[in-house]
């Protein structure tokens, strides 16, 4: 009885802090991931009303700079949603190819691996914070019929990747809490060894139906400044996926990916999704 009890994290509710800590990325992922009929939409609407009340209050409860940032998020979200909706429509498989889910993403099946970039550049623009907040919201919306795991890359300088479980677990309350705690502890450090991480995932998760890659940069070699050849890597992934036909979707994070659509970071995440039947979303 004297043992310290494990810290409990409530993953079933969204707080004002969840949204402002993730800023634009959290709001976009929430909109993309959750349909309008989802109860989480009601919480978002209530949050907006709360923010509006705080803005008009003579004694605001948060820093004015944070409120201004959130206002800018709300003003720009509609334009971003329209663009993302078009991307989703283009990338969504036909109903006979996939499984309809409770979330806005069209997953192929119910065995999903999230592969999260934790390279040093994820410190920029608080990209890591946006990914953490967005994934928390997405996981909260996913029903318990899913099985998933999370893989980070790299694991600092120690290894090119690290998995939470190394296998699929049903998305019950305990698994949700474990994922949230794993995400909370992620710290950006190192290069972007995408090849090693994706190769590990295909070797390990034989039942995988969906892979979602969240990254902010061009693939590179572990513990090196050398860049990987993105076209060779795309061919490598196609060879890995030839027999299994896993749906690979990508979420490009940060201005470094999106500002140059002819650049290698953008081309890699876009082509990886297109060539493997998935969706591509950028924020």
Check residue 38 and give its pLDDT: 47
Pairing between strand 247-252 and 210-215? Answer: parallel
Residue 146 in contact with residue 38, Cβ under 8 Å? no
**How would you classify residue 126: left for phi > 0, otherwise alpha for psi between -120 and 50, otherwise beta?**
left
- 3-state SS, residue 278: strand
Q: Is the peptide bond before 221 cis (omega within 30 degrees of 0)?
A: no
- Secondary structure class of 149 (helix, strand, coil): strand
Domains and CATH numbers, the chain: 16-88 (no CATH), 93-282 (3.40.50.410)
- The beta strands (E) that lie in the chain are given as 111-117, 147-153, 162-163, 169-170, 210-215, 247-252, 277-282
Burial 18-48 (b: 16+ CB within 10 A, else e): bbbbbbbbbbbbbbbbbeeebebeebbeebe
Give the C-alpha separation, 117 to 240, whole Å: 20
Say what the pLDDT of residue 159 is.
96
pLDDT value, residue 134? 85
pLDDT < 70 regions, the chain: 1-105
Q: Could you identify the residue written with the tokens 């999230």?
A: 114
- Residue the block writes with tokens 């996981």: 139
């Amino acid at each position: 009885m004297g043992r310290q009890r494990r810290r409990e994290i409530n993953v079933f509710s969204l707080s004002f802090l969840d949204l402002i800590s993730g800023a634009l990325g959290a709001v976009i992922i929430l909109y993309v991931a959750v349909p309008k009929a989802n109860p989480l939409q009601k919480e978002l609407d209530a949050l907006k009303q709360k923010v509006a009340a705080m803005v008009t209050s003579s004694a605001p409860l948060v820093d004015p700079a944070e409120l201004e940032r959130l206002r800018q998020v709300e003003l720009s979200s509609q334009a971003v949603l329209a663009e993302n909706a078009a991307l989703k429509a283009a990338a969504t498989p036909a109903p006979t190819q996939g499984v309809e889910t409770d979330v806005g993403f069209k997953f192929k099946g119910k065995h999903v691996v999230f592969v999260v970039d934790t390279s040093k550049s994820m410190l920029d623009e608080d990209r890591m914070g946006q990914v953490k907040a967005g994934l928390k919201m997405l996981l909260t919306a996913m029903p318990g019929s899913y099985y998933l795991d999370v893989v980070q890359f790299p694991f600092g300088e120690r290894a090119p990747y690290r998995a939470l479980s190394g296998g699929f677990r049903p998305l019950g309350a305990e698994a949700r809490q474990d994922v949230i705690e794993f995400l909370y502890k992620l710290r950006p450090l190192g290069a972007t060894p995408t090849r090693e991480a994706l190769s590990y995932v295909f070797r390990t998760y034989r039942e995988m139906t969906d892979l979602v890659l969240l990254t902010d940069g061009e693939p590179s070699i572990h513990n090196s400044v050398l860049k990987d050849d993105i076209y060779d890597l795309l061919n490598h992934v196609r060879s890995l996926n030839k027999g299994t036909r896993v749906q690979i979707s990508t979420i490009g994070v940060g201005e470094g990916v999106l500002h140059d659509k002819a650049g290698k970071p953008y081309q890699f995440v876009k082509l990886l999704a297109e060539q493997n039947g998935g969706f591509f979303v950028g924020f």
